[in-house]
Chain A
């Protein structure tokens, strides 16, 4: 307690030092006078009395210093003094200070920007409480090569019952049409079980979330609004709770409004209870994976511990209820994924790559600044020499250098903190909505800590160079070091050369990396998806109204009329409808089927493939070639014999070297056989990066009841220009139905490469930045060395050296660094290439082009950076140069 009090007073010491100093002086003076008076009284002469008193009291200066050290903390005092000194130094060299701060701000700002996105997407998405405890249940069928982010209801119920799970919920996508401003508007929605919001720890701003009693088939309809729809439809009125809104023309009671930062499942604008009937929990539903299930683990439970436990419990039950043989045959299993990783999806890898890239940029910026500090230290070597000779310790000088770099990087960090999250927001804008919707970048403590960390590391890296040299050359500090008669050689600038070489190699790594990603992107864009997406408009209609959803005849009439009207538009060569578009982010459905007359082995899980439903002209619109048989026609209707078209993959798998046309197959064990009428080419269904398809069955759109129709039309012009015609066609065919999204098939395909494209663009930008920084680094060093060698060059020229020879001499220096940097960078690039091949499809191969192009760019930049100082050196007049000393 006493110590603490003393420490506080000492900490505050510097603020009172002036008054204390005066008081101490007066006190010592009075002490001296009292002593003298005593001595006089003892009978000494005035002179003797004063002399004795001074001897007795001891050194005044020492006493003052001892008191001063006691009055405050000397270490702190030194630090403040260094800080003032640094500020003074920087005010004297504003150009230097600004260059350093800007360079560091670029590095730190880029890091803060990327990290703020990484934090917002992967570590702490807004609106979710403790996201690390939230996980998604997934199903895998290794025999079918299937990996789906859904589970069945019995599996979900089992997981929810485990003690490690704090809360669990399921969701199934839905959409409703609402009346807004007198028009039907399509609203993406989710049917969720009552604990959905509890799993995410999501908060309402008004009202409450769904209660368990409301999540029953017999309960009345309630709805929770998203912030967005509360604002747009209800104008943000606070009395909205308790009101009724019409969803698909049915009344729902509004019970709550969610906070603006929660919208999961992605894009969901309203939530209604899923109200599962008891039959959904029946054991026979065990392999019916149609629901997204999320769980919140209890504190302290990890996914690594939980997943095996879940698996064990599932298999116990499977064995008891008899599902085990099928599960074994099909390679069925349940696993878990952290929710953050699932939500980030294909954004995850690009973000990690970018984080690596900006760290490289930070290294380059630090190397640049370290070079600048070294140059400054050379210019200040006289100052250091004088201070050393006056007794300054190495430790004090190192501390002072570090204070200077810390000060500058603090300024840069300030800029980084101010600009970083804003840049991060811009970055998220570059990403297609379907990847990034729902993520918001905001300043939070994690970002601040990260920025402070990078600033500290940067200032240490940047300040360390000069410090090493200071320590290494301490004994060599001579006052005559910078005076006449010496010539600075590259040798003396060894440390700076190392920094320049590092910069060049890292810039080269980034350039080559850009080339590698660009090549891979180009290669992916060349992948033939099996259909022609160019010029195809794609529009989605989610059916509205319970009677319409169940009425096959009405649907067939609606689709037939809309397609016919669409096809008659000018510029449209063909129009069709399909259940699922290729490259639809939601993915295409799949199911098991059986083949007439096919004997299944004991370990055979039976045939399985993806399923789609199409109208006759679908293959014509998409230009999917027919290999055998015929297309669907208008005559393949509900009343006629069911037909199916399969792709070549299925045909070859089940009828190798035979004709598949005319065979019979049946979906999911139904008694009604469909006849194979045609075989078409394989297409890529969801990704250009990898072929995940396991075969496709197309059924006639008119022979089934659907929930959705995706209209496609091939045009000669801009496919999205058809939007108005399409809306008219839909309205004319059935006024109760509304179009929800209109896009082009080409956009859907291109969006599947959004992550890769993001890497390429950002990498290109950062590589350009790195190149610029290295050019500045080379230029600064060459200029400095050349300026130091002015007299040497003057002598050379006086002795008859040609100007071209001087240019070569100076430029040679620059090129040596570039060559060293290139060699180092080459090694790094090869390592990076072989590492990234494991993580990115279509990567590797064609590395030579990227390496050579990168090398050419770096060499050109190096020549450019060296040429100006070289020409300046060559224009030296020997006489002037020699006289200048």
Chain B
């Protein structure tokens, strides 16, 4: 497991928001699994990283939480994207794309 990458806090918030947007309401474990799968199991999320990030997003009003029942009948806390969260996602996704595009141009080998 040593080769798995740790997640940078700022990008984790973006990943959580994107996950909730595409998957709809989801519990913490589900979010973690989804992010790991999407990353092709390169990323690994533990409690200490995930839950403070969820709390922060909730405090900022980007997501709301509610206790519910999971697919396999287990009690779990479900997180849902708010309208403010959706706006934040679009804004951050856009700025992230810009940043990566710029960096990509810098790092791309010269084609001449």
Binding site for B on A (CB under 8 A): 2-3, 5-6, 9-10, 23-24, 26-28, 30-31, 33-35, 37-38, 56-60, 62-63, 66-67, 69-71
Contact = CB atoms under 8 A, between A and B. Distances in A.
Interface residues of B, number: 27
Contacts of B76: 27, 30-31, 34
A6 B74 CA distance: 30
Interface in B23-64: 27-30, 32-33, 44, 46-49, 51-52, 55-56, 59-62
Given A23-B77, A30-B29, A30-B77, A58 B60 contact: no
Contacts of B48: 58-59, 62-63, 66
Identify which of B27, B70, B77 gathers the most chain A CB atoms within 10 Å of its CB.
Answer: B77
B68 to A, nearest CB: 11
B77 A70 contact: no
Contact of B55 (A2, A28, A71): A71
Nearest to B88: A2
Contact of B75 (A2, A26, A37, A62): A26
A5 B60 contact: yes
Nearest to A3: B60
B60 A27 contact: no
B47 A63 contact: yes
B55 A30 contact: no
Contacts of A10: 59
B51 A28 contact: yes
Contact of A37 (B44, B74, B88): B74
Contacts of A9: 59
A31 B75 CA distance: 10
A24 B48 CA distance: 12
B60 A6 contact: yes
B62 A2 contact: yes
Given A30-B77, A33-B74, A37-B72, A57 B47 contact: yes
A60 B47 CA distance: 7
B59 A58 contact: no
B60 to A, nearest CB: 4
Instruction: Name the residue among B49, B52, B72, B88 with the largest chain A CB count within 10 angstroms.
Output: B52
B52 A58 contact: no
B51 to A, nearest CB: 5
A5 B72 CA distance: 35
Contacts of A57: 46-47
Contacts of B46: 56-59, 63
Contacts of B77: 23, 26-27, 30
A30 B75 contact: yes
Contact of B29 (A31, A62, A71): A31
Nearest to A35: B29
A648 B70 CA distance: 114
5 contacts: A24-B51, A28-B51, A34-B30, A62-B47, A67-B52
A59 B49 CA distance: 11
Contact of B56 (A6, A23, A27, A34): A6
Contacts of B27: 30-31, 34
Contacts of A71: 55
Residue from the set B48, B56, B61 with the largest chain A CB neighbour count within 10 Å: B48
Given A35-B29, A66-B51, A67-B52, A5 B70 contact: no
Contacts of A5: 59-61
Contacts of A6: 56, 59-60
Contacts of A31: 27-29, 32, 47, 76
Interface string B66-83: 000010101111000000
B74 A27 contact: no
A34 B70 contact: yes
Contacts of B52: 63, 66-67, 69-70
Nearest to B32: A31
Nearest to A13: B59
A69 B70 CA distance: 28
**Max count, chain B CB within 10 A of own CB: residue among A26, A34, A56:** A34
A72 to B, nearest CB: 10
Contacts of B60: 2-3, 5-6
B51 A63 contact: yes
Given A9-B59, A27-B51, A66-B52, 6 more contacts: A5-B60, A28-B47, A31-B76, A33-B74, A34-B29, A69-B52
Contacts of B56: 6, 70
Instruction: Give the interface centre of A9, A26, A59, A67 by most chain B CB atoms within 10 Å.
Output: A67
- Most chain B CB atoms below 10 A, which of A60, A69, A70: A70
Contacts of B30: 34
Select the residue from B33, B55, B61, B75 with max chain A CB neighbours within 10 A: B55
A30 B62 CA distance: 23
A101 to B, nearest CB: 40
A56 B41 CA distance: 13
Contacts of A28: 47, 51
Contacts of B44: 56
Nearest to B72: A37
A71 B59 CA distance: 8
A34 B55 contact: no
Given A56-B46, A57-B46, A59-B48, A67 B55 contact: yes
